[in-house]
């Protein structure tokens, strides 16, 4: 799994039938140094994450193992909304102080 920040949403009026009702989020991943990487990825949202929230993302074939998703063409899925992240006894993120 990887840590990412929600940067936006993707709206699509035409899509694969099995993706009907799936919300898509634009994500920016966190690098090893604690800074956000310059690239973005689109992921299916399974937890109702919102703008600027930090999330856990499952990628690859593991993303399809979410309930009722094994037949969907998904290779990235948001599986959790993060409350806090710390590294080396340093708080990198706290949802409480974010809002």
Q: State the CATH number of the domain containing residue 7.
A: 2.40.50.220
- CA torsion, ordered 65, 66, 69, 75, to nearest 10 deg: -70
Whether residue 72 contacts residue 81, with contact meaning beta carbons closer than 8 Å, is answered with no
pTM: 0.89
Q: How many CB atoms lie within 10 A of CB 94?
A: 14
Query: Hey, CA dihedral for 59, 63, 64, 65, is it positive or negative?
Result: positive
Domain containing residue 74: 2-97
pLDDT tens string 66-99: 756 778 888 999 999 999 999 889 888 999 886 5
How many domains does the chain divide into? 1
pLDDT tens string 16-72: 998 888 999 999 999 988 899 999 999 999 999 999 999 999 998 888 777 567 788
């Amino acid at each position: 799994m990887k840590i990412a920040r929600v940067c936006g949403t993707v709206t699509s009026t035409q899509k694969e039938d099995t993706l009907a009702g799936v919300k898509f989020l634009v994500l920016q991943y966190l690098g090893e140094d604690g800074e956000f990487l310059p690239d973005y990825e689109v992921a299916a949202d399974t937890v109702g994450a919102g703008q600027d929230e930090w999330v856990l993302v499952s990628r690859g074939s593991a993303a399809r193992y979410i309930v009722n998703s094994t037949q969907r063409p998904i290779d990235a899925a948001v599986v959790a909304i993060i409350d806090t992240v710390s590294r080396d006894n340093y708080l990198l993120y706290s949802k409480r102080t974010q809002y």
